[in-house]
Amino acid sequence: MNRPAVRDFALLLLRLVLGVVFVARGYQRWFGLGMAQTARDFAAAGVPQPQISAYVVGTVELLGGVFLLIGLLTTIAASVLALMVLAAGYFVHFDHGLFVEDGGVEYPLVLAVSLFMVVVFGSGRASLDGVLTRND
């Protein structure tokens, strides 16, 4: 089944779920835990430059999530988020095996592949990208 409306709905649903996840995570880093605690957590996990990384990650998650939600510059936002998630998988999760309960790479892999789908298939017509690039 290759119906454009179904494809666009699937992309919208994927973007909305990913956007909510990243906005919530970025908000939590900035305003829930706070940047000082996020940096301490990053340092304990062995993330390089934990102070800078905390601010970069929190900002990219928050803004990238908003861009996914509204569908603006979607492939760029998804690409940057995917690279960040892969880095987190490498620095934080890789040594813990596969399963999320053990702190493994399961969750980052699902996020990275989901973001890759957005990069490959775009934002769909139900997005600001879709509205701004229509040739009708």
Secondary structure of 15-26 in HEC code, one letter for each residue: HHHHHHHHHHHH
Q: Is residue 136 part of a domain?
A: no
Q: How many Å apart are CA 73 and CA 60, to the nearest integer? A: 13
Which pLDDT does position 134 carry in this prediction?
73
Which pLDDT does position 100 carry in this prediction?
86
Q: Is residue 135 part of a domain?
A: no
pTM, whole model, 2 decimals? 0.91
Low-confidence stretches of the chain (pLDDT beneath 50): none
Which pLDDT does position 53 carry in this prediction?
97
Q: Is residue 51 part of a domain?
A: yes
Q: Is residue 134 part of a domain?
A: no
Which pLDDT does position 136 carry in this prediction?
52
Provide CB contacts within 8 A for 130, sequence distance 6+. 8, 71, 123, 124
Q: Which residue range is the domain that position 121 belongs to? A: 4-129
Three-state secondary structure call for residue 27:
helix
Q: Where are the beta strands (DSSP E) in the chain?
A: none
Provide CB contacts within 8 A for 124, sequence distance 6+. 7, 8, 9, 10, 11, 12, 15, 71, 130
Domain count, the chain: 1
Which pLDDT does position 135 carry in this prediction?
63
- The answer to whether the beta carbons of residues 21 and 64 sit under 8 Å apart is no
